[in-house]
């Protein structure tokens, strides 16, 4: 597991995006990142400039990035100052830079500088957020312009899988493009607040991911299990803290698992295993894909891509049928897996209800 500072992230820091916004002289409600910036202002992550402005259109610098991350992670400001020769020992950024460097989140340059006034790029943003929050995804990045290094490819894939970004309409990520304070605010808010993740999800009409604001109840072999997207504490010291689907069983036991989607497909994983594809894109009738789970290879075939399927929750008219060793799985855009039928025709699992989450 990567060395990160996510253990310092306080769940209590996560605030409602609809809270009252502290006054700022230049934040307008029609700004595309108004909600995300307001969220971070309320959380004390963005404090702006002496004149009361927050200047979302300005480019975000490396030192501003460190300050915003440090505030979000509630890093102490009394620890040793940064050792970089171009970072003033008494500056606000210095203790944050020192701790983030120690945790492996940010790096300096070979000449001993940090270059605090340099502008952050989209690629650097992806690396910083992936390192800081240990985002989970084992699906390879489908962005052709992020293949320059394995670390960049993994970081961008993780951001996409965790609904922080979905790139540009032309299929690129543009890692060398410099970003603004508003754009960085959006990426940072999406990383830690499910409501903003859900907005990214909703922007993709072809997604098979479920609505993160809902609780889904399924019947698994006759037992009702409810699943809610929430912040999950680690099961052990070796497991990451983060957002996951929390399955709650009839006996009160719970188990978290991850559900990720990139341009490569939809994948599941539990805290103890790598991700595995359950749907590979593009979906095409008659085509097949292979994945490995617990060292066993499986092959799924799209036996029907437009079938009607009935569940206790309701009837879906355009389900995708995936067949594996005679077992049929039915997926619906926006609802994920809604039904599973065993080889003998017995219904093993099916969607029973969808309700608003209460957490």
Same structural domain for residues 34 and 71?
yes
- Give the DSSP H/E element, type plus range, for residue 96: helix 93-102
Residue 207 lies in a domain: no
Range of the domain at 139: 6-202
Whole-model pTM: value is 0.87
Into how many domains does the chain fold?
Answer: 2
Same structural domain for residues 125 and 97?
yes
Same structural domain for residues 150 and 12?
yes
Question: Residue 215's beta-bridge partner residues?
Answer: 228, 355
Same structural domain for residues 47 and 157?
yes
Same structural domain for residues 97 and 242?
no
What is the distance between the alpha carbons of residues 257 and 59, in angstroms, rounded to a whole number? 37
Residue 223 lies in a domain: yes
Q: Which of 174, 202, 230 is the last residue of a domain?
A: 202
Residue 266 lies in a domain: yes
- Give the DSSP H/E element, type plus range, for residue 185: helix 181-192
Same structural domain for residues 184 and 219?
no
Q: Which of 202, 224, 246 is the last residue of a domain?
A: 202
Same structural domain for residues 303 and 342?
yes
What is the distance between the alpha carbons of residues 135 and 77, in angstroms, rounded to a whole number? 25
Same structural domain for residues 172 and 273?
no
Same structural domain for residues 76 and 145?
yes
Q: Which of 148, 174, 202 is the last residue of a domain?
A: 202
Rg (CA), the chain: 22
Residue 27 lies in a domain: yes
Same structural domain for residues 198 and 226?
no
- Render each residue's pLDDT in the chain as its tens digit; 359 residues: 344 454 444 434 444 444 445 557 788 888 899 999 999 999 999 998 888 899 999 999 999 999 999 999 999 887 677 889 999 888 899 999 999 999 999 999 999 999 999 999 999 999 999 999 888 775 767 788 888 888 898 899 889 999 999 889 888 999 999 999 999 999 999 999 999 999 999 998 889 999 999 999 999 998 999 999 998 765 554 555 578 899 999 999 988 888 988 888 898 887 766 678 889 999 999 999 998 877 888 999 999 999 999 999 999 999 999 999 999 999 999 999 999 999 999 999 999 999 999 76
Residue 279 lies in a domain: yes
8 Å CB contact between 312 and 351: yes
Give which of 261, 259, 324, 250 is closest to 291, Cα–Cα: 324
Same structural domain for residues 172 and 230?
no
Residue 248 lies in a domain: yes
- Give the DSSP H/E element, type plus range, for residue 70: helix 62-72
Q: Encoding tokens for residue 100? A: 């983030």
Same structural domain for residues 17 and 147?
yes
Which residue is it, tokens 């889904």?
216
Residue 209 lies in a domain: no
Residue 276 lies in a domain: yes
């Amino acid at each position: 597991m990567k060395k990160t500072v996510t253990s310092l992230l306080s769940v209590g820091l996560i605030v409602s995006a609809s809270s009252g916004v502290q006054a700022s002289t230049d934040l307008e409600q029609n700004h595309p990142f108004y909600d995300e910036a307001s969220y971070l202002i309320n959380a004390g992550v963005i404090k702006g400039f002496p004149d009361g402005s927050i200047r979302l259109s300005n480019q975000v610098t490396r030192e501003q990035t460190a300050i915003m991350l440090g505030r979000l992670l509630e890093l102490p400001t009394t620890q040793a100052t940064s050792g970089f020769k171009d970072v003033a020992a008494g500056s606000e950024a210095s203790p944050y830079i020192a701790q983030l460097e120690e945790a492996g989140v940010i790096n300096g340059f070979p000449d001993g500088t940090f270059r605090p006034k340099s502008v952050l790029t989209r690629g650097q943003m992806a690396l910083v957020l992936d390192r800081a929050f240990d985002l989970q995804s084992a699906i390879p990045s489908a962005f052709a312009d992020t293949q320059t290094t394995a670390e960049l490819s993994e970081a961008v894939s993780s951001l996409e899988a965790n609904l922080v970004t979905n790139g540009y309409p032309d299929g690129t990520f543009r890692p060398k493009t410099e970003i603004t304070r508003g754009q960085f605010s959006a990426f940072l808010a999406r990383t830690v607040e499910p409501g903003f993740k859900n907005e990214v999800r909703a922007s993709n009409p072809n997604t098979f991911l479920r609505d993160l604001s809902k609780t889904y109840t399924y019947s698994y072999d006759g037992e009702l299990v409810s699943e809610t997207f929430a912040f999950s504490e680690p099961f052990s010291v070796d497991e990451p803290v983060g957002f996951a689907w929390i399955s709650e069983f009839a006996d009160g036991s719970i188990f978290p698992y991850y559900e990720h989607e990139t341009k490569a497909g939809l994948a599941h994983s539990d805290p103890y295993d790598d991700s595995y594809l359950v749907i590979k894109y593009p979906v095409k009738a008659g085509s097949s894909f292979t994945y490995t789970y617990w060292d066993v290879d499986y092959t799924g075939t799209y036996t029907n891509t437009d079938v009607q399927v009935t569940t206790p929750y309701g009837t879906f008219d355009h389900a995708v049928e995936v067949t594996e060793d005679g077992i049929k799985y039915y997926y619906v855009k926006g609802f994920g897996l809604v039904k599973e039928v065993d080889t003998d025709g017995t219904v093993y699992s099916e969607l029973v209800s969808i309700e608003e989450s209460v957490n």
